[in-house]
Amino acid sequence: MNRAVTRTLSANTHHLRLCRRTLCSATTDHVYHATPGEVNDNVQPYDIAIVGGGMVGMALACSLATTPLTKHLKVAIIDANPALTNQVPINREDPPDPRVSTVTPATISSFKDIGAWQYVQQHRHAYFDKMQVWDYTGLGYTKYDARDVYKEVLGCVVENKVLHRSLLSRIEDTDFGKTIYPSRLMSMSLHPSSSSNIVDDTSSAEALYSRGRLAKLELSDQKSLYAKLVVGSDGAKSQVRELMGFKKTGWNYSQNAVICTVEHSVENHCAWQRFLPSGPIAILPIGDNFSNIVWTMNPKEASDLKSLSEEDFVKAVNHALDYGYGPHPRPSLLDSSSMFSWLGGNMTITSNASFEVPPKVVKLASARMSFPLSLLHANNYASKRVVLIGDAAHTVHPLAGQGVNLGFGDAFALSRTIAEGVAVGMDIGEVSVLKRYEAERRPANIGMMAILDGFQKAYSVDFGPLNILRAAAFHGAHFILPLKRNIISYASGEQRLPLFT
Cβ neighbours, 10 Å, residue 109:
13
Amino acid at 353: A
- The answer on 280 and 429 residing in a single domain is no
- The answer on 18 and 153 residing in a single domain is no
16-to-60, 108, 230, 434 alpha-carbon distances in Å: 20, 31, 21, 22
Distance of CA 467 to the CA centre of its chain: 31
- The answer on 209 and 220 residing in a single domain is yes
Range of the domain at 138: 100-160+250-369+459-491
Q: Say yes or no to pLDDT of 32 above 60.
A: no
In a domain, 501, yes or no: no
pLDDT confidence bin for 204, thresholds 50/70/90: confident
Residues of the chain with pLDDT > 70, as a percent, come to 75
| Residue, of 343 and 112, whose pLDDT is higher | 112
pLDDT confidence bin for 35, thresholds 50/70/90: very low
In CATH, what number is assigned to the domain containing residue 122?
3.30.9.10
Per-residue buried b or exposed e for 468-486, using 16+ beta carbons within 10 Å of the residue's own CB = eebbbbbbbbbbbeebbbb
In a domain, 452, yes or no: no
In CATH, what number is assigned to the domain containing residue 440?
3.50.50.60
- The answer on 334 and 265 residing in a single domain is yes
What is the pTM assigned to this prediction?
0.85
- The answer on 345 and 464 residing in a single domain is yes
What is the Cβ-side half-sphere exposure of residue 249, based on CA atoms within 13 angstroms? 6
Listed range (96-100, 325-329, 363-367) with the worst mean pLDDT: 325-329
> Among 113, 111, 126, which residue's Cα sits nearest to residue 163?
111
In a domain, 244, yes or no: yes
Mean pLDDT of the chain: 82
Interhelix angle 403-423/431-458, nearest 10 degrees: 170
Asked if residues 148 and 484 have their Cβ atoms less than 8 Å apart, the reply is: yes
Q: Say yes or no to pLDDT of 195 above 70.
A: no
Asked if residues 131 and 271 have their Cβ atoms less than 8 Å apart, the reply is: yes
What was the pLDDT predicted at 418? 98
Residue 184, phi then psi, degrees to nearest 5: -120, 145
What was the pLDDT predicted at 142? 85
d(CA 391, CA 412): 15
In a domain, 454, yes or no: no
- The answer on 236 and 283 residing in a single domain is no
What was the pLDDT predicted at 119? 97
In a domain, 34, yes or no: yes
Amino acid at 441: R
What is the rounded average pLDDT of the residues 91-98? 89
What was the pLDDT predicted at 25? 34
In a domain, 425, yes or no: yes
- Give the pairing type, strands 224-232 and 215-219: antiparallel
Per-residue pLDDT tens digits for 379-398 = 999 999 999 999 999 998 88
Residue 430, phi then psi, degrees to nearest 5: -70, 145
pLDDT confidence bin for 191, thresholds 50/70/90: confident
H-helix segments, 278-430: 299-307, 310-321, 336-339, 403-423
Listed range (209-218, 239-248, 387-396, 486-495) with the worst mean pLDDT: 486-495
Domains held by the chain: number: 2
Residue 292, phi then psi, degrees to nearest 5: -105, 135
What was the pLDDT predicted at 89? 87
Per-residue buried b or exposed e for 13-38, using 16+ beta carbons within 10 Å of the residue's own CB = eeebeeeeeebeeeebeeebebeeee
Burial of 334 (0-12, 13-18, 19+ CB in 10 A): middle
- The answer on 257 and 172 residing in a single domain is no
Tell me the residue ranges of DSSP E strands in 146-289: 155-159, 177-181, 185-190, 215-219, 224-232, 248-263, 270-276, 279-287
- The answer on 131 and 145 residing in a single domain is yes
What is the rounded average pLDDT of the residues 247-275? 94
Burial of 133 (0-12, 13-18, 19+ CB in 10 A): buried
- The answer on 359 and 287 residing in a single domain is yes
- The answer on 273 and 150 residing in a single domain is yes
What was the pLDDT predicted at 470? 62
d(CA 70, CA 428): 11
What is the rounded average pLDDT of the residues 404-411? 96
Listed range (78-82, 235-239, 309-313, 475-479) with the worst mean pLDDT: 475-479
| Residue, of 175 and 348, whose pLDDT is higher | 175
In a domain, 220, yes or no: yes
What was the pLDDT predicted at 461? 56
Asked if residues 144 and 155 have their Cβ atoms less than 8 Å apart, the reply is: no
Asked if residues 97 and 202 have their Cβ atoms less than 8 Å apart, the reply is: no
In a domain, 394, yes or no: yes
Distance of CA 346 to the CA centre of its chain: 38
- The answer on 433 and 479 residing in a single domain is no
Per-residue pLDDT tens digits for 333-381 = 444 444 444 444 444 444 447 889 999 999 999 999 999 999 999 999 9
Amino acid at 60: L
- The answer on 295 and 237 residing in a single domain is no
